């Protein structure tokens, strides 16, 4: 759930995939998983690693990436195995990259625009994946069913240098659900990542929707029940 503060050991599988190219740890999640970038100055490939007991989560992500890439900018799967997922880099930076710390309004707008593009692009009728497990089995009546990202926290939107959305990563929970399952979490994560108030309105305005306080409260409560920590 944050950028690493120093170098981390490079697992053998990552070193093998890098084949003598530069490797750096770019992200550590709350489950102990580490994502490495391969290549410099910017990574051209990424390897996401998860501790062995959670390896099955990457299999779910592989299925979803392979489906979604036909419709929207998401990472191309190059290879995967037990506990690791090797993808081609999307252009752009995470919305929580330090360059956006000074421009949280730009990041919030790009996250909203990006989620709207994702929801408009992914076809509900063709989607084989159901709602993310954290949504539970008694959601309120849907405002609009879309293919949700499923973990729409700010770091999972990538933003191009011209501040337009570049794509989405971390699609292991993608599936059909009410669009507020994404919007409630995306707006909540602005507080974790940028602090302060006011960016929620920027995000929802960029998405093109008025706030829905009841659905926002519902999905945030389900998320907080199920998720160990923000990502």
For ligand ATP, the binding residues (CB under 6 A) are: 1, 26-27, 29, 33, 35, 46, 48, 75, 87, 89-90, 94, 153, 155-156, 158, 169-170, 231
H helices present in 122-179, as ranges: none
Minimum CB distance to ligand ATP, residue 90 (Å): 4
Q: Which listed option, ligand ATP, Mg ion, none, makes contact with residue 33 (CB within 5 to 8 Å by class)?
A: ligand ATP
Q: CB of 87: closest distance to ligand ATP in angstroms?
A: 4
Distance of CA 30 to the CA centre of its chain: 14
Give the Cα separation of 42 and 11 in Å (integer): 20
**Residue 124 or residue 229: which is nearer to ligand ATP going by CB?**
229
Do residues 89 and 56 lie in contact, with contact meaning Cβ atoms separated by under 8 Å? Answer: no
User: Which residues 6+ apart lie within 8 Å of 36 measured at CB?
Assistant: 10, 14, 18, 23, 24, 25, 26, 46, 47, 48, 49
The least CB distance from residue 214 to ligand ATP, in Å, is 26
Active site residue 63: no
Residue 23 to residue 10: CA distance in whole angstroms: 8
Q: Which of 105, 120, 126, 151 is an active site residue?
A: 151
State which H helix or E strand residue 94 sits in: strand 93-94
Site for Mg ion contains 87 (CB under 5 A) = no
What residue number has its CB nearest to ligand ATP?
A: 231
**Site size toward Mg ion, by CB under 5 A:** 2
> Is 156 one of the annotated binding-site residues?
yes
Query: With respect to ligand ATP, which residue has the nearer C-beta, 37 or 131?
Result: 37
Q: Which of residues 45 and 170 has its CB atom nearest to Mg ion in the complex?
A: 170
The whole-angstrom separation of Cα 165 and Cα 107 is 9
156 near Mg ion, judged by CB under 5 A: yes
Per rule CB under 5 A, is residue 178 in the interface with Mg ion? no
- First-residue to last-residue Cα distance in the chain: 5
161 is in an annotated binding site: no
Q: Which is nearer to ligand ATP, 35 or 187 (CB)?
A: 35
Residue 63 Cα distances to 44, 69, 215, 216, angstroms: 22, 10, 29, 28
Give the residue numbers of the binding site for Mg(2+): 156, 170
- Residue positions annotated with a catalytic role: 151
């Amino acid at each position: 759930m944050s950028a690493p503060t120093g170098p981390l050991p490079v697992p053998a599988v990552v070193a093998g995939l890098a084949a003598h190219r530069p490797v750096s740890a770019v992200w550590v999640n709350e489950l102990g998983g580490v994502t490495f970038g391969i290549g410099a100055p910017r990574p051209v490939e990424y390897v996401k690693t998860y501790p062995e007991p959670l390896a099955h989560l990457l299999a779910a992500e592989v299925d979803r990436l392979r489906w979604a890439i036909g419709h929207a900018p998401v990472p191309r799967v190059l290879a995967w195995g037990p506990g690791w997922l090797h993808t081609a880099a999307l252009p752009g930076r995470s919305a929580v990259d330090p360059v956006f710390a000074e421009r949280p309004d730009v990041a919030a707008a790009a996250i909203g625009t990006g989620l709207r593009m994702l929801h408009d692009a992914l076809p509900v009728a063709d989607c084989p994946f159901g709602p993310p497990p954290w949504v539970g089995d008694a959601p309120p009546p849907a405002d609009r069913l879309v293919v949700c990202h499923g973990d729409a926290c700010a770091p999972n939107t990538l933003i191009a240098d011209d501040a337009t959305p570049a794509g989405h990563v971390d699609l292991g929970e993608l599936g059909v659900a009410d669009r507020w399952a994404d919007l409630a979490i995306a707006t909540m994560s602005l507080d974790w990542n940028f602090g302060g108030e006011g960016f929620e309105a920027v995000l929802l305005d960029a998405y093109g929707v008025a706030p829905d306080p009841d659905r926002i409260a519902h999905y945030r409560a389900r998320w907080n029940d199920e998720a160990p920590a923000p990502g």
